Structure formats: structure tokens, C-alpha cells
Amino acid sequence: MAFGHRPANSVVEFRESEPMINTAEHFDVVVVGAGISGLSAAWHFKNERPGTRFVVLEREASFGGTWLTHKFPGIRSDSDLYTFGFRFKPWVGPPIATAEEIRAYLGEMIAENDLSQYLRFGHTIETAEWSSETSTWTVTARLDSGETRTFTANFLYMAQGYFKHRQGYMPEWPGMADFKGPIVHTEEWDGSIDYAGKRVALIGSGATAATVIPAMANTAEMVTMVQRSPTYFFPAANANETADMLRALKVDEEWVHEITRRKINFDQDTVCRRCVEEPEAVKAELLEAVRSLLPEGFDMKHFTPSYRPWRQRLAFVPNGDMFEAIRDGKAGVVTGEIARFTENGLAMTDGTTVEADIVLAATGFNLCVMGDIAFRIDGKPLDWNDTVTWRGMMFTGVPNMVWVFGYLRASWTLRADMVSRFVCRLLDHMADRGASAVVPALRPEDHNMPLSSWIDTDDFNANYILRGQDKLPKRGDKREWQHTQDYWREKDEFPALDLDDRALVYSGAQAGSIAAE
């Protein structure tokens, strides 16, 4: 049965053990998610693999992912848009952009490439089941109306991200019910709370806090960041000297984009390596940059982390605006443990209090592995923690599927674009072989390989990763069985990956193939 050569959007008979709609639309690829990763996939399938029959299924009412669902004050990127933007569409604005600017950029890309025809919104995927008999995935999605739709696909492209939107991680503290004001997580902020003239206690630190504080400080009476431990911040102008110079020389925007991307990635590589090789020197530089923007005599304990730089994400502060709010007396910082909530704020374990009318929690994400979709392989429920990752995108025992998990030290989209290009090449290779399925499998030399957590926690120990290790796939001690976080090597490795490596097992030769027209 040649699944890859059925006309686009055709309807085929499909039967499930449970009563459901008995027809399914069939595609070469079903892409899950219309955020920046899913839109990257859509562009690559349309432009680099013409003839690929694909659909992008999105739970929300529009595209954008994070940049659609996040509504907290000041929402902006914490990666520069020259590298967070697509490799194929130049970014022409300031390096750090607002959510509105990012969605406008994504919307332009969709319009320029006529991608709307592939996007379907309001589709919440509930199950995904692989059949080795037919070499297809069957995906069920529930529409906002409650109706269920079924799709079959030769290949499943998971681009839905890695955390729960609209449900942040909220620790429990004694006395929360006693607090008279609203308590809300930044993930759940909808703009309905009026904070003008109010005292705001923001619990947490990091990129979200650095975004919210200067935005709220404009109208709030006072914003106090309450943190258990400090985060490294990197304040700098929201401009790029390389891009500005090239534009002054009237260089074409495509060249500006490429040269600036290369310069930024080169500089980030240098910083990441220095964080490992000379962490104390980097720490001193970061702390001095912060100190220079704070009031004289400010206690630097509030901005001096106990870990080496880049073990958690380094938070960029454009134009030092958060520190400007502190310098102007509109924001403050308290470092310590919260003992309990009171009617009027927070009581700390050291006996001090933080008065507040509103408590806003920027306390992190809840990990969402594979969209919390119920996966089955030939009828058996799939536990991702039982799998081992191949190159951080495919998984042992899971055929014809990739997951986009971007970089945490470099921009997410750098990896999303690389995975998109890799999948196009893989689908071409399968078509050439006449193979209908490919699955990573440990080679004989890998079977005694030590296995450990998805990410090396000695290298990167963000709390949301630590909390969710039991839900994530395993990694091995060999590079091909890891998500390395090393863009600077992977950018050269990915285009040269051997698709006939013994770690990739193909099946169904001549039984079906994925179209490459």
C-alpha cells in the first residue's frame, strides 16, 4: 500500500477499537504545533521538499505558540531575533523584540510563503498511535466544538514545545489563602488585573522577572522581586553594532542577516566556552556589568549566584531597564526564603516582610513532554523515559517521528531549522530506498552504554528540567545518543549525518514510501 502517493487531502477508511469518526485525512507529515518550530517545518516542507503533503495542527486559535499565549506585562524575547528568527527570513528590527513584533514577523513569513493553507487551528491532539502493519501514525484531535477528527500520516513532526502553556509551576506556601489580593502566575496572566499604583511582589528571578519588572514599574507603586537565589543577568544595549554598521554601508538585508547571525553565534560560542574554562573571570565580568547600573552601595548578594555562569539560562536585560527601575526606586530585590503569606504580603524566614497588594509568581514552567499526548506503539502505551534519544530528536523504539527540542544556551530556532532540514533529507532518503519506516535502535556496541538523564545536570540544571527528568527520554554517553546543546558543532554535523548509520533501522522496503515529487 503506497501511502506516499495518495493525492493530497484525500480521505481513507480508518477504524479504531473505540467508536470514532471512521474516516481520516492522510498526509505524508503531520506537524504538531504552529509556533516558531512548526512554522519552520512548514516552510522547509513547502520550499525545500515540494510535493510533500503535510498539515500543521495547532491547539490555539492562531499561530505563534509562546508569543501568542504569554500575556504578562512586557512580554519580549530573551534571545536575539537575528538568531531566534528563521535562517531564511532576515530580521530587521532591534535584537530583543516584543511578542507583538515577533508575531508580526511570523505572520509576514506565513503570508510570503502562502502557508495559511496548511495551518489548522483549534485542534487539540489527544492520541497518537503507530501501526507497524501499515507504517502509519493515527492522530486524533479534538476541536473546540468537541468534535473529533482523525488524521493518518507517514511521519509525525512534534513541534509543540516543552512546557505547559497557561499553567505555570506554582509552589505551595503556608497562608496563601490568607492573602487579600490576587495571586497569579505569569503563565496565567490575562491582563485583567489592574496593577497601577499597587505594590507588587514578584516571586522568582530570571528572564521572566527581568521582563516583567521594568514593564510593571512604569505604573505600579513598587515592584519587589522576591527570589530564593540570584540569577546571572547580562545587561547590554538593545542594538547590534555589526548589523548597524552593515546597514550604514547599504549592504543587502540578507547579507546583514547572515553575517550578523554568524557574528552573534561566534561570540556566544566564545562566552559558553569561557564559562567552562574560566568561570570566575566571566562571573566577575557579569557582576561588574550589573554593579555599574545599580545605586552606589547596593548589596550585590542579590545578583551573585552560587553556581557558575550558564548552568542556568543567562538572562539578557536590554538597555539595563530592570536595573534602571531599581536605580529609580521603582523596584527592589529581596533574597531569601518565604516563610508564609500574610493578609498583606509575604513573611520571610529572616523575620522581614514584603508588603504587597498583588503577588505575581514567575516561578517557572511545568514540563510538557510531547504535548501530553497519549502515545501508543502497536497498541502498547509509550513511556518516553524508557526510550533513548538519537541526536536529541528521534527515539529508540519510536518510528517515523522527530521532536524539536531547541537549544537552551543558543537560540531555539537554530536547532528547529536544522531539524527541519534534516527531516527533509531523511524523507528523501526513505523515498530513495523505498522504505516506509525508520526507527533508531541501539547498535551492538551500544547495549552496555551507561544511560542517564536527558540533559547533564552538572552542565545545565534549570529547575523545570530537574523536576521533569522522569518524564523525559534518556541519553547515552556517546554523542549520537545525546541532545548535546552544542550548536557550534551540530551546525556542521547535522548536514553530514550518515543516514545509513546502523543506528537507523529502515523497514518496509518497497511496501510504501514518502512522496518526493
Q: What are phi and psi for residue 439, nearest 5 degrees?
A: -140, 135
User: Could you tell me the CATH superfamily of domain 8-165+367-507?
Assistant: FAD/NAD(P)-binding domain (3.50.50.60)
Beta pairing class for 358-361 and 183-185: parallel
Q: How far is CA 363 from the centre of its chain?
A: 17
Residue 405: other Cβ atoms inside 10 A:
24
Up-side HSE of residue 409: CA atoms within 13 Å toward CB? 25
Task: Copy the grid coordinates of residue 384.
Answer: 518516553
The answer to whether residues 247 and 256 touch, using CB atoms and an 8 Å cutoff, is: yes
For the chain, residues classed under CATH 3.50.50.60 are 8-165+367-507, 176-361
As a whole number of angstroms, the distance between CA 480 and CA 504 comes to 11
Beta pairing class for 374-377 and 54-57: unpaired
The answer to whether residues 483 and 389 touch, using CB atoms and an 8 Å cutoff, is: yes
- 299's enclosing H/E stretch is none
Task: Copy the grid coordinates of residue 450.
Answer: 551507561
CATH of 176-361, one of 2.102.10.10, 3.50.50.60, 3.40.50.2300, 3.40.50.150: 3.50.50.60
Name the stretches of the chain with pLDDT < 70: 1-22, 460-461, 509-517
Distances (CA, A) of 283 to 287, 303, 305, 480: 6, 11, 9, 32
As a whole number of angstroms, the distance between CA 60 and CA 124 comes to 8
As a whole number of angstroms, the distance between CA 25 and CA 84 comes to 33
Task: Copy the grid coordinates of residue 264.
Answer: 552573534
263-307 confidence digits (pLDDT tens): 999 999 999 899 889 999 999 999 999 999 999 999 999 999 988
DSSP 413-463: HHHHHHHHHHHHHHHHHHHHHT-SEEEE---GGGTT---B-SS-TTT---H
For 112, the 3-state DSSP assignment is helix
The answer to whether residues 399 and 130 touch, using CB atoms and an 8 Å cutoff, is: yes
Let me know if 297 is exposed, middle or buried by CB neighbors in 10 A (0-12, 13-18, 19+): exposed
The answer to whether residues 224 and 333 touch, using CB atoms and an 8 Å cutoff, is: yes
Which pLDDT value is given to residue 509?
54
Q: Which of 393, 392, 396 is nearest to 383 (CA)?
A: 396
Distances (CA, A) of 494 to 63, 390, 422, 423: 28, 12, 7, 11
For 46, the 3-state DSSP assignment is helix
As a whole number of angstroms, the distance between CA 156 and CA 64 comes to 20
Which pLDDT value is given to residue 97?
96
Residue that is written with C-alpha cell 551546525 in the block? 491
pTM summary value: 0.91
Q: Rounded to the nearest 5 degrees, what angle is found at the Cα of 400, between the Cα atoms of 396 and 403?
A: 70
Which pLDDT value is given to residue 500?
96
Which pLDDT value is given to residue 6?
30
